[in-house]
Structure 1
Amino acid sequence: MWSWVRSWGLSAVRAIFVHLVIDAQDILIILVTPVDTEPTRDAVTYWDIAEMPPTGDDPLNALIVRLAAAYQEPGLLKFHLDDVGSAAGRAAGLADPGLRVGTRDVVLTAGDHLCVYVLEWTLHHLDLVAYLPDMGEPPVEGLARSREMLERIAGAAFPASFSDEDALLVGTERRAPTDAEKAELDLPAAKFPLHLG
């Protein structure tokens, strides 16, 4: 999803932070706007798989870039993410996992909707680590859950020799596999990388 910003350096960090702010706002809105219809997707079937990685031409991506540029003071962006992100975290902890919510013209349970964000935010945490290695790795549980979800989305598993982090990075084309990894991938290589949208 973010291959188009990975060459931007620290401006990419601001873009990712803005994206996380928008995600946190979405969580708050969605969790307080339940729907009455039955779920149409779950945390795995929610994802659309694109043939090619995004180019950054999507209107939302353009908005994110403009918003990121507007935050001249990084501390303000950090404050905004801490503020909205903390509220989203509290709302997620209070939410009924079986609550039905709507987003992007689909209906999911709140539990599945939040699992979608476990995968997305784990990937974005890895994106940030690429630029800010001192920030620390994502939680082990989040990495394991995200790998499991990615493999279920693909319908194929990575070899056990791949760490959860390497499976996520290679599986979403955040880095190219080494020659040794290519040899191990074998048949699952046809399923990866996944361009999640």
Structure 2
Amino acid sequence: MDLFLRSWAALRTAVAELADEDLARPSGCTGWLVRDLVCHLVVDAQDVLITLVTPTDAAVTRNAATYWEVAGESPSGDDPLDALTVRLAAAYGESWLLKFHLDDVGSAAGRAAELADPALRVSTRDVVLTAGDYLHAYVMEWTLHHLDLVAHLPKAPRPPADALAGARALLEEIAGAAFPTSWADEDALLVGTGRRTATPEEGAALAEAGLRVPLVLG
């Protein structure tokens, strides 16, 4: 729960500190500008709010790792929902409106997470998991999207070290194997999810570790 709150607060702070021109730069998400990614984060925050107020008595079917489904290939940016996000982002017109909306809805999502009972069972995407596992799964979402946000903004603040470590540990659980211990957490996440192509040396290390990447999470 604490890691969710810290990673989410760090991501929202990074967005709040962006200059207007930064929102028009490319992000680390294929086909999306930074403003499109910020719009996606607004939708994510809404999803968190909806899920945390959707309790269920049904049996738990997923945990933080199995919440994520691994796709066969990286997104092309042509998905209809991706295109809708681009149109929604453009509809804001003024960049401050988009940033304000994220701050407004994002703060509410953070507060809802802070008040949530970790043992509460919630339903989302036709699966059931505890609120604690759901929020832990979102540490991956916030951390990867924080890396996407700053992919072409070298002066922007990076994700917190504990969020990077937590997301790496969860990715290793999903993969069923550990990345080389010599790798930085950020490199493990970028290469592991296909956000950066592995060097020949990294590829050899992955093969030795029995890791097949990219792990495209959805």
> Quick check: TM above 0.5?
yes
For residue 168 of structure 2, the aligned residue among 131, 147, 151 is 147
Indicate whether 1:193 and 2:201 are aligned: no
**Partner Cα separation in structure 2 for residue 151 and residue 190 of structure 1:** 9
- Summarize the Cα distance change of 1:23–1:4 in structure 2 as closer, same or farther, 3 Å threshold: same
Secondary structure of the 2:150 match is helix
Q: Percent identity?
A: 65
For residue 114 of structure 1, the aligned residue among 117, 135, 138 is 135
Secondary structure of the 1:165 match is helix
Indicate whether 1:83 and 2:104 are aligned: yes
Task: Give deviations 1:102-153, integer Å, cap 9, x for gaps.
Answer: 1110011101111111101100000011122222110111100000000100
**Partner Cα separation in structure 2 for residue 70 and residue 49 of structure 1:** 32
**Partner Cα separation in structure 1 for residue 156 and residue 104 of structure 2:** 19
Q: Which residue of 2 aligns with 1:161?
A: 182
Q: Which moved more, 1:185-194 or 1:174-183?
A: 185-194
Secondary structure of the 2:180 match is coil
**Partner Cα separation in structure 2 for residue 187 and residue 59 of structure 1:** 38
Shift of 1:3: 4.5
Task: Give deviations 1:33-74, integer Å, cap 9, x for gaps.
Answer: 211101110111111111111223333222211111212211
Unaligned runs of 5+ in 2: 1-27
**Partner Cα separation in structure 1 for residue 84 and residue 209 of structure 2:** 35
Alignment of 1:24-35 (within 5 A): 24-35=45-56
Shift of 1:193: 1.1
How many residue pairs were aligned?
A: 191
CA contact (8 A) 2:29 2:148 kept: no
**Partner Cα separation in structure 1 for residue 51 and residue 207 of structure 2:** 40
CA contact (8 A) 1:102 1:108 kept: yes
Q: TM-score, normalised by structure 1?
A: 0.91
**Partner Cα separation in structure 2 for residue 132 and residue 74 of structure 1:** 17
**Partner Cα separation in structure 2 for residue 185 and residue 36 of structure 1:** 41
Unaligned runs of 5+ in 1: none
Shift of 1:190: 4.3
Q: Which moved more, 1:90-99 or 1:56-65?
A: 56-65
Shift of 1:188: 3.7
Indicate whether 1:97 and 2:118 are aligned: yes
Two-structure CA RMSD over aligned residues (Å): 1.5
**Partner Cα separation in structure 1 for residue 69 and residue 208 of structure 2:** 22
CA contact (8 A) 1:170 1:193 kept: yes
Q: Which residue of 1 aligns with 2:30?
A: 4
Secondary structure of the 1:131 match is coil
Q: TM-score, normalised by structure 2?
A: 0.83
Indicate whether 1:21 and 2:42 are aligned: yes
- Counterpart residue type for residue 75 of structure 1: W
